[in-house]
Amino acid sequence: MAGSYPSPEVDFSAAWNLTPVSAGDWLVVAPTVITMIGGAVCLMARKNTNAQPKLGLIFLTLLVLANGGLLLRVLDKGVITMVMGSWLPPFGIAFTVDTLGATMSLIASVVALCAGMYGASSVGSTGRRYGFYPFLLLLMTGVCGAFLTGDIFNLYVWFEVLLISSYGLLVLGNDRPQLDGAVKYGILNLIGTNLFLIGTGLLYGILGTLNMADIAMKISQLDAPAHGTLATVAALYLLAFAMKAAAFPVNFWLPASYHTPNVVVSAVFAGLLTKVGVYALLRIFVMIMPASREYMADLIAVVAIATMIVGALGAIAQSEVRRALGYLVIAGIGSMLAGLAIGTPLAISGAIFYAVHSIIVMTALYMVAGVMQQMGGSYDLRKLGGLYAASPAFAAIFLILAFAVSGLPPFSGFWPKVMLVESAIVTGRTWVAVAILVGGFLTTIAMGRIWIYAFWRGGPEGTADGTAVALPATSKLLTPAAVWVPICILTALVIYFGIQPEGMFTLSAYGSIGNVDPSGYLNSVFGGAQ
């Protein structure tokens, strides 16, 4: 029937970007596409439990390669934009990748690859049959999508993708504590995303656009860019992403749930999920609503300090290793929020560096906790002991990670703290600098307690001084490689970023400057239109 209509001459370039997408730019969507296909393939093969880890690792390796290529391309060409359906911005859903998004996405995929390896040993055939690898891959779809998207409603969708996958991982195994933790995690996180959605709806009502670059431009042209309904939107975003990032006082779902699932699931969650919240805070408050960030800087600083101190004190008060680590995740979030509160380019790049460091070190620590449980038979500090005698090499790895998470040199946690403390002092917020140092000190105590109880003393509680208790499972320690390789990779990264921080300095500085002054981002989105 098409022939019965006249075919008018239509100027397609008014609506579409007619330049074909160059081959390299397809990398922008590669991370989400690879993980989605990988999740589907693993799901189809879910009954073949032996093939699951292999399939999963193949797709996770591809993901790391794609993200690595994407980061190199961004460093080479600047910000890359790809609009679904080639619509001219602000129409159509844009994926816009800058250094911040590409760096976070790369580190997240490296950590996911390590978790995939670790899962090959710690997730049994039941866990595999019920979908550990499909859930892990789809979780990465959500995480990478959130890091790479340039559309605020699309960000909500990726949040939901990662949330539903995380529910699946969290209840994998169906134990009583897991169900208990999942109820709290599930409801509170769903409320958090709903708050985000309310804010997005209001923002759309004010500005009539959902494209982040367009929003950033339109907000900067408003008369009072921090007041009126925008203040409501900013407050809703702050609350929603603070819930996602587990900032005080909306952090209680994290210690209630993160210690319940399989330890590798805890490791992935601790590494990735809260940092997606931090990433969203950075993206929205640094790039899109800088005036609102300035307006709320003191509030964010207070929240950051409370988060740091509550997290570190909580870790000291725990006798379960995984629960203590859960609190340390929260303490780290406080440091990143401090960077957001200070808001200078140096502070923002400190927050980015800290996020990268925290992704690596928290995942590694949970994996180490899994090994501690294998060696000592428990996660309880009262029942652990003598691990140093059992394996000095493993004790050394724990000590390195403990130094890193406390922010002691020469490991990866030291440099971001230097940047944060320096920028706090330069901007006259000495109290924030003091809080960061006190938080680091308390974290050192918390890690020192685990070190003394689990590693240094001779045996579990009640062992007499000077005597040592032989551990039953000592012979099984050095196998399998699936446990040791990921831990060693992550520890090596911690050492590398500590000794050779220049690369991370550059990446985080690019990421920070690209958000403080988003002209590169805006040009990339609207360059085709002008």
Partner 1 sequence: MELGLAILIGIFFTVSIYLMLSKQLVRMLLGVAILGNAVNLSIFTNGRLTREVPPVIPADLYLPAEMTANPLPQALVLTAIVISFSFFAFLLVLAFRAYQELGTDDVNEMRVAEPENDPLPPQGY
Q: Which is nearer to partner 1, 107 or 233 (CB)?
A: 233
d(CA 489, CA 113): 10
Residue 198 found at the interface with partner 1 (CB under 8 A): yes
Least distance CB 204 / partner 1 (angstroms): 5
Asked if 445 touches partner 1 (CB under 8 A), the answer is: no
Residue 348 Cβ vs partner 1, minimum distance, rounded to whole Å: 30
The least CB distance from residue 160 to partner 1, in Å, is 5
Number of residues that bind partner 1 (CB under 8 A): 47
> What's the closest the beta carbon of residue 49 comes to partner 1, in angstroms?
23
**Three-state DSSP class for residue 19:** coil
Look at residue 149 and give its three-state secondary structure.
strand
What is the sign of the dihedral through the CA atoms of 96, 97, 98 and 104? Answer: positive
CA 338 – CA 520 distance, rounded (Å)? 26
Residue with Cβ nearer partner 1 (10 or 23): 10
CB 185: neighbour CB atoms within 10 A?
25
CB crowding 350-385: b at 16 or more within 10 Å, else e: bbbbbbbbbbbbbbbbbbbbbbbbbbbebbbbebbb
The residue whose two tokens read 């401090």 is 338
Apex CA 259: angle with CA 462 and CA 31, to 5°? 140
Q: How far is the CB of 186 from partner 1 (least distance, A)?
A: 5
Exactly one of 21, 164, 309, 408 binds partner 1 (CB under 8 A); that residue is: 164
Residues 123-162, one symbol each (x = binds partner 1 by CB under 8 A, - = not), give ------------------------------x--xx--x--
Question: x/- string (CB under 8 A) for partner 1, residues 277-316?
Answer: ----------------------------------------
Q: Contact, 411 vs 494, CB < 8 A? A: yes
Binding mask 216-255 for partner 1 (x = CB under 8 A): ---------------------------------------x
Q: Does 256 bind partner 1 (CB under 8 A)?
A: yes
Q: How far is the CB of 189 from partner 1 (least distance, A)?
A: 9
Residue 443 binds partner 1 (CB under 8 A)? no
Q: Are 112 and 291 in contact (CB under 8 A)?
A: no
264 to 36, 322, 369, 408: CA distances (angstroms): 21, 11, 10, 26
The residue (of 91 and 505) whose beta carbon lies closer to partner 1 is: 91
In whole angstroms, how close is the CB of 424 to partner 1 at the nearest point?
A: 32
The yes or no reply on residue 262 touching partner 1 (CB under 8 A) is no
Which among 229, 231, 252, 256 has a CA at the least distance from the CA of 242?
252
- Is residue 381 within the footprint of partner 1 (CB under 8 A)? yes
Compute the distance between CA of residue 123 and CA of residue 130 in angstroms, rounded to an integer: 10
Among 194, 158, 330, 195, residue whose Cα is nearest residue 256: 330
Least CB distance to partner 1 at residue 272 (A)? 20
Q: Counting contacts by CB under 8 A, is residue 3 touching partner 1?
A: no
Q: Considering the rule CB under 8 A, would residue 491 count as an interface residue with partner 1?
A: no
Is the Cβ of residue 184 or residue 227 nearer to partner 1 in the bound state? 184
Show the tokens assigned to 266: 């805890």
- Closest distance between partner 1 and the C-beta of residue 391, in Å? 21
Calpha distance 331→441 (Å, rounded):
11
Taking CB under 8 A as the criterion, the residue among 319, 344, 374, 523 binding partner 1 is 319
Single residue of 84, 452, 481, 492 touching partner 1 by CB under 8 A: 452
194 binds partner 1 (CB under 8 A): yes
**Of 204, 357, 339, 365, residue with least CA distance to 281:** 339
396 lies in the binding site for partner 1 (CB under 8 A): no
CA-CA distance, 370 to 390, in Å (whole number)?
Answer: 15
Residue 293's CB: how many other CB atoms inside 10 A? 22
Which CB atom, from 453 or from 521, has the smaller least distance to partner 1?
453
Report the distance separating Cα 163 and Cα 192, nearest Å. Answer: 11
Asked if 179 interacts with partner 1 (CB under 8 A), we say yes
Q: Which residue, among 60, 52, 58, has the nearest Cα to 129 in the 3D structure?
A: 52
Among 130, 204, 505, 526, contact with partner 1 (rule: CB under 8 A): 204
Residues 323-352 that bind partner 1 (CB under 8 A): 323
Stretch in the footprint of partner 1 (CB under 8 A) among 106-114, 412-420, 448-456, 482-490: 448-456
For the bound state, the minimum distance from the C-beta of residue 13 to partner 1, rounded and expressed in Å, comes to: 16
Cα dist from 208 to 23, 78, 86, 127, whole Å: 33, 28, 20, 45
**Which residues of the chain form contacts with partner 1 (CB under 8 A)?**
153, 156-157, 160, 163-164, 167, 171, 174, 176-184, 186-187, 190-191, 194, 197-198, 200-202, 204-205, 210, 255-257, 259-260, 317-319, 323, 381-382, 449, 452-453, 457, 461
